Amino acid sequence: MTTHQWTLQESFYFPVEYGAFAKSAEVKVTPGFTEERTEDAIRLQGIYHIAANVVFDADKQVELATEDVLVIHDVEVENNKGYFEYAVPLNVDLPVELDGDLQLEVRDIKSSSQEDGGLKLEWTVHLKQEEPVQEPVVIEEEPAALQFVAASTSHLEFLANADRAVEQVNNEMEDFLLYIAEMDDDITRKIFHSNNVFVEAEGQSSE
């Protein structure tokens, strides 16, 4: 994967009454942009928003030699400490084949004082590219048809009739055993018991 990065720098000057720039306490550079895709390139347009806390050396006099320098007039100063914000134009053309969500991240912010009392600011921009998430292709399989053998009506009727026949036999057997149990014949009571187990009658001894 190709890494895209670039470095920018800008020089800032301040009203001479504040003295020369001495050092920066904190500097933040935040990119903001819009994205336009054409047939030839991906064009990013916006700004780098700069917010900085700086320290001035009031004892060092500054003379702005040329009119071409960038002077920050809108700066809040108290006890030789100042705060200012500024927007640097952002214009970048990227290769058209880049895909996904494009983000810019600023790293390596460096500040230094110049001999003429100005602030030199430098920062590096890294392009972060988030690849589009490809959802896995899910192949939906049709559920297998349920295979079963439906019992025919005649078969079901046969089972029902068989159950009724068994129940009827059991009822008749109970009635028959009850009838045998009420008889006074000793031999009959020995032969037919209520547990439906056949017991052979004992033979009578001959005189």
The alpha carbon of 101 is separated from its chain's Cα centroid by a whole number of angstroms, namely 17
Query: Using 50, 70 and 90 to split pLDDT, how confident is the model at 206?
Result: very low
pLDDT surpassing 50 at residue 201:
no
What is the reported pTM?
Answer: 0.61
Give the separation between CA 48 and CA 29, rounded to whole angstroms: 6
Domain ranges, ordered by start, for the chain: 5-130, 153-191
Q: What is the mean pLDDT of the chain?
A: 78
Q: Which of 67-81, 121-135, 168-182 has the highest mean pLDDT?
A: 67-81
Question: Which structure tokens are listed for 170?
Answer: 């059991």
Give the separation between CA 113 and CA 111, rounded to whole angstroms: 7
- Considering the chain, what percentage of its residues have pLDDT values greater than 70? 61
Query: Using 50, 70 and 90 to split pLDDT, how confident is the model at 99?
Result: confident
Identify the weakest region by mean pLDDT among 36-40, 150-154, 164-168: 150-154
Beta carbons of 31 and 48 less than 8 angstroms apart? yes
Query: Using 50, 70 and 90 to split pLDDT, how confident is the model at 113?
Result: very high
Place of tokens 């690849």: 131
Tell me the average pLDDT across 106-117.
Answer: 94
Query: Using 50, 70 and 90 to split pLDDT, how confident is the model at 195?
Result: very low
- Tens-digit pLDDT profile for residues 138-150: 666 666 555 544 4
Strand partners, 134: none
Query: Using 50, 70 and 90 to split pLDDT, how confident is the model at 121?
Result: very high
